[in-house]
Structure 1
Amino acid sequence: MSRFNHRGIFLQKLGPTIVNPDEVLVSMQFALKEEDWDAENNVETTALLDSTILIASSHDGGRSFSLGNINKDIDGDGDIDADDKAKLLALAKAYVSIARP
């Protein structure tokens, strides 16, 4: 997130593990950033608002992912449907394919 764009997506790849070398999890956090000024301590503060965390899981090394129920309109078209889920799954797959993020 920058000073100009207060929306952000934080992605984190988890796995594979020793227990299951084909398991990969992608944590996706969607948030809004709010900046404020703490006059008492004379510092700028930052808070994340409206934060949502979703976990996409793969059991085939990241070739395909599954995602539990989502309850947020991700693509902004006014409804929560299969398109939202498809975009999240594509994001997880694309992120895992990046060798050095």
Structure 2
Amino acid sequence: MSNYNQRGVFLQLLTPSISSPKEVRVSMQFALKEEGYDPENRSATYSLLDSTSREAVSNDGGVTFTMGNTPDVDDDGDIDAQDKAVLIALAKAYSKIINP
């Protein structure tokens, strides 16, 4: 996250389970960054607010993903198939990155 955008998405490629070696799991954490100031140490402080996590799972090596409940990512007031499609596209793209 930068000084210009206080919202962020943290992505993590998780290891597959032992029983399913073609499994691809992508963890997504959505957060809001709050900046503050610690007068005792005279330094800036940062904390994450409204943090939520979602996980996308693929059992075919990252070709197709499934997700449980999804948040309203396009902020249009409803949670619909478009929100899920955006998160699945993000997981699919991130899973293709070899060395993030």
Please report the TM-score for the alignment, with normalisation by the length of structure 1.
0.91
Structure 1: gaps (5+ residues): none
Report percent identity of matched pairs.
61
Judge conservation of contact 1:15–1:21 (CA < 8 Å) in 2.
Answer: no
Aligned to 2:79: 80
CA RMSD of aligned residues (A): 1.2
**SS of aligned partner of 1:54:** strand
**Partners in 2 of 1:80 and 1:17 — Cα distance?**
30
* Counterpart in the other structure of 1:23: 23
Provide, for residues 49-76 of structure 1, a one-character-per-residue CA deviation record: whole Å limited to 9, x for no partner. Answer: 1111000011111111100022x21111
1:6 equivalenced with 2:12 (yes/no): no
TM-score by length of 2: 0.92
Gaps of 5+ in 2: none
Aligned to 2:53: 53
Query: For residues 22 and 53 of structure 2, what CA distance do their matches in structure 1 show?
Result: 23
Deviation at 1:17, TM superposition (A): 4.1
12-21 or 48-57: bigger deviation: 12-21
What is the total number of aligned residue pairs between the two structures? 100
Shift of 1:99: 2.1
Displacement of 1:97: 1.1
Question: What is the alpha-carbon distance in structure 2 between the residues aligned to residue 78 and residue 69 of structure 1?
Answer: 15
SS of match in other structure, 1:83: helix
Residue in 2 aligned with 1:94? 93
Q: Which amino acid aligns with 2:5?
A: N
SS in 1 for 2:91: helix
The CA distance in 2 between the partners of 1:80 and 1:58, in whole Å, is 22
CA distance in 1, matches of 2:74, 2:8: 14
> Within 2, Cα distance between the matches of 1:62 and 1:69?
19
Task: Return 73-82 or 25-34, whichever deviates more.
Answer: 73-82
